[in-house]
Structure 1
Amino acid sequence: MTPEIRPAKAADAAAIAAIWNKIIVETTVTFTTIEKTPEAVAEDIAARQAAGQGYLVASDGAQLLGLACYGPFRGGPGYRFAMEHTIYLSEAAKGQGLGRRLITALEEHARAAGHSCLIGAVSGENTAAQAFHSRMGYVEVGRLPRVGHKFGRFLDMVLMQKLL
C-alpha cells in the first residue's frame, strides 16, 4: 500500500511525538534535548492549522511514517512570507521516497498559502539532510558555526532555502 499524505490530526500526536522523541534523544538532527509530549504536539498541530500553516503526516493506515510542518521563520510582520519547515521520518520509512513526497506536499501547501520561501535549518552534522534538501532544490544560504550544543559538543547550523 502506498502511504497517504494528509493533514495531521490530534489523534496523530502520540505517534508524532514518538518519531520526534527518538530523534531528540538519539541524534544531533535537532539541537533540542526536551522531548515532546503528545499534548504539546496536539496543541502545535491545532495552532499551526488555525494559523493556516501546513502540518502533514504520512501514514500507511496502520502506522504513522513521517511528518512535515512549517511555521514562521522569524517573528514580526516583515517575515510573514518566509516559513521554516521541519521534516522527520521514522526509521522504517527512510529510503522509500516518502521524504520527497512529504516535502513536495508541504511546499505546495506553503505556495498556495502565499508564502515566498521555505527554509530548513539543518544540523551541520546531518549531511544526509543537506543532500536531500539540495536534491529538492534548496540552496545553502548560510552557515552558523557553533550555534547548537548537544552531547557535549558544539554544532553548526546550515540554512537552506527554496524560493516558492
Structure 2
Amino acid sequence: MNIRQAQIGDATAIAEITNTIIRETLVTFTTDEREVDAVAKDIQARGPAFLVAEENAQVLGFATYGAFRNGPGYAECREHSIQLAPEARGQGIGRALLSALEDAARQQGIHVLVAGISSANAGAVAFHAALGYRQVGHMPEVGLKWGKRLDLLLMQKILASG
C-alpha cells in the first residue's frame, strides 16, 4: 500500500468512494453526490492536503482537509475528511492515511485538525479516539437524512504545542 498526493486522475475513484458512502450510509448528512469535475477541482486546489492510499494502481481511500471556519482567527485550524472503500476498511489504511495527513498539516503550519462525525458512525468516533482525537462538542439533531435526525460530534487533535 502506498500513500501519495492525490492527482487529477484519481477523481473518478474518489467520487465513487464518496458517492457510495452518500448513497448507502448515514456517515455524511448530504444526499448530493459529488461530480468527478468537482472532485478534480478539490484535488487541484488542496494540493498536499489531499492524499490517497493505493495498491496495485487502485485507490482504496483518501484523506483531505479544508477550512474549518472563515476568517483569519481560524487560519491554523482545518476540518478533515477521511473515507475508505468498503474493501479497504479494518486493514490499517485509515490510520496510515490520517497519520500522513497530520504530517502534511504540520508541514503547512496547521495547529489543530477537527473531525465532524455523524452520531450514526460510532466506528469513526472510536477510530479518531484511538488516534488521539478527543470529543469537544456534541450538537444534537443538526443533521437530517432519510427522515432521521442525527447528531454531529466534533473531535479535535492539537498537532503541535505552542
Q: Please indicate the TM-score interval, normalised by the length of the shorter structure.
A: over 0.9
- Which of 117, 125, 131 is the aligned partner of 2:126? 131
Residue 41 of structure 2 is aligned to residue 46 of structure 1:
no
| Amino acid aligned to 1:85 | H
Partner of 1:34: 32
Task: State TM-score, norm by structure 2.
Answer: 0.96
- 1:148 match: secondary structure: strand
Give secondary structure in 2 for the equivalent of 1:122. strand
Runs of 4+ in 1 over 4 A off after TM superposition: none
Match of 1:104 in 2: 99
Residues 1:118 and 2:113 aligned together: yes
1:25-49 Cα deviation digits (max 9, x unpaired): 1111011110011111001111112
How many Å separate the matches in 1 of 2:31 and 2:42? Answer: 18
Unmatched segments (≥5 aa) in structure 1: none
Give the residue type in structure 2 aligned to 1:148: G
Counterpart CA distance in 2 for 1:48 and 1:57 is 13
1:62 aligned partner: 57
The separation in 1 between residues aligned to 2:100 and 2:88, in whole angstroms, is 17
| Distance of 1:61 and 1:143 partners within structure 2 | 40
Aligned to 1:8: 6
State the SS of the aligned residue for 1:156: strand
1:62 corresponds to which letter in structure 2? A
Where does residue 15 of structure 2 map in the other structure?
17
Q: Does the residue aligned with 1:145 lie in a helix, a strand or coil?
A: strand
Amino acid at match of 2:22: I
CA distance in 2, matches of 1:92, 1:127: 19
Q: Distance in 2 between matches of 1:6 and 1:161?
A: 24
Q: For residues 55 and 62 of structure 1, what CA distance do their matches in structure 2 show?
A: 17
Q: CA RMSD in A?
A: 0.7
Q: How far does residue 153 in structure 1 lie from its aligned partner after superposition? A: 1.1
| 2:135 pairs with 1:140 | yes
State which of 153, 157, 160 in structure 2 corresponds to 1:162.
157
